[in-house]
Amino acid sequence: MSSMQSNSSANVTFVHPATFFINGLINIPNAKYYYVFLSVVYVVTILGNSFIMSIIYLARRLHTAKYFAVFHLAISDLCGSSALIPKVIDTFLFEHQDISYEACLAYMFFVYHFMNLQSLTLLVLAYDRLVAICFPLRYQAIVTKTAMFLIIGVMWIFSVTFFSAFVSSVNRLSFCGTNVIDSYFCNYGPIFRLACNDNSLHVLLGTICYSLLIFTPLILIFISYLCIAIVLLKIPHGVDRIKSIKTCTSHLMLVAIFYIPILSNNIATIIIPFHPNAQIINISLTQTIPPMLNPIIYTLKTEEVMRTIKELYKQSKVNTTQERNMKCSRRRN
């Protein structure tokens, strides 16, 4: 332990290690292939989210408040994966498992911050569907670009503020024993369990963090769709009801892909004691697969996006043909 931090008002000294050692998968032959798999997931995530962002940027018809939120979800997915996977690859494929104390806290902040933004953006999209179906005549007046910009701005301010304080709370822990983190990144839970002083406050903070990340948005999304279901049941024509349901399917799939694996993993951990390797694989998949699948689902399951892609493709073919004809005419002249 080479670094120390003093709190002069309370005359308390906190002992911090110079570095942490990220353990990763233990005693698994060819474990590096799993990290290669994560690198492939990362490449697909970059391509998919960059594609959906480009489509929204190029198509004026998608310059709406809803697709501003979809664009933000793609940014959050891209940044979240970029905060996590490249460092995982560097840590285990290139065997840089030692990480400085300060870098570990920064690593933790960005992973949790962008994961929180993904969760909150799914909540914002649920709000969009709630207004569109329950208050269709007032939708354009309520869900405006300005309102969406303000909502997302508040999300960023809240997330940065909360997770700055959350990560800073680690500075009030003393590490007198091992500095080995039994995880695949600088995970808050495995770190505060290494502390040799009272960590009861950090157990509470971890619970609050988990509630903010998972339970609160999920409960609000559930309430939103409960209200939507009540409205849909009042629609007399089945065709209109099906059309309204179709506008929600892509979002419901995103919600299921994001929340179900996380909830299942945590419930299973409580019921059945997991081996650390199983926990690492489960957690890593729940954090990396949804950002990869989100743009694919929005592309394939949203008619408006598919129609826009086809129109952009046809327009590009027309432009290419026109350019060829112009070149041919110039050569003839």
Q: What is the mean pLDDT of residues 104-119?
A: 96
User: Tell me: the pLDDT tens digits for 66-111?
Assistant: 999 999 999 999 999 999 999 999 999 998 999 999 999 999 999 9
Rounded Cα distance, 16 and 173, in Å: 8
- Token readout for 118 is 């993904």
Q: Residue 56 — pLDDT band, cuts 50, 70, 90?
A: very high
193 vs 238, higher pLDDT: 193
Rounded Cα distance, 130 and 319, in Å: 40
Give the total number of structural domains in the chain.
Answer: 1
Residue 10 lies in a domain: no
Q: What is the mean pLDDT of residues 122-136?
A: 94
Is the pLDDT at 265 greater than 90? The verdict is no
CATH number of the structural domain spanning residue 190: 1.20.1070.10
- Rg (C-alpha) for the chain, rounded Å, is 24
Residue 34 lies in a domain: yes
Residue 138 lies in a domain: yes
Give the residue from 315, 257, 248 showing the smallest Cα distance to 55.
315
- Maximum Cα–Cα distance across the chain: 88
Q: Residue 332 — pLDDT band, cuts 50, 70, 90?
A: low
Residue 170 lies in a domain: yes
Residue 11 lies in a domain: no
Q: Residue 140 — pLDDT band, cuts 50, 70, 90?
A: very high
Give the residue from 124, 123, 132, 160 showing the smallest Cα distance to 259.
123
Residue 287 lies in a domain: yes
Facing residues of 6 across strands?
13
- Angle ∠(72,77,83) on CA atoms, nearest 5: 120
pLDDT recorded at residue 272:
77
Residue 123 lies in a domain: yes
Instruction: Report how far Cα 135 is from the mean position of its chain's Cα atoms.
Output: 29
Give the residue from 112, 124, 127, 128 showing the smallest Cα distance to 80.
112
320 vs 264, higher pLDDT: 264
- Token readout for 223 is 């309430």
- Token readout for 212 is 């903010």
User: Tell me: the pLDDT tens digits for 146-173?
Assistant: 999 999 999 999 999 999 999 999 999 9
CB 199 within 8 A of CB 219: no
Is the pLDDT at 205 greater than 70? The verdict is yes
Residue 60 lies in a domain: yes
Rounded Cα distance, 314 and 285, in Å: 37
Rounded Cα distance, 318 and 270, in Å: 58
Range of the domain at 287: 17-301
Q: What is the mean pLDDT of residues 317-328?
A: 73
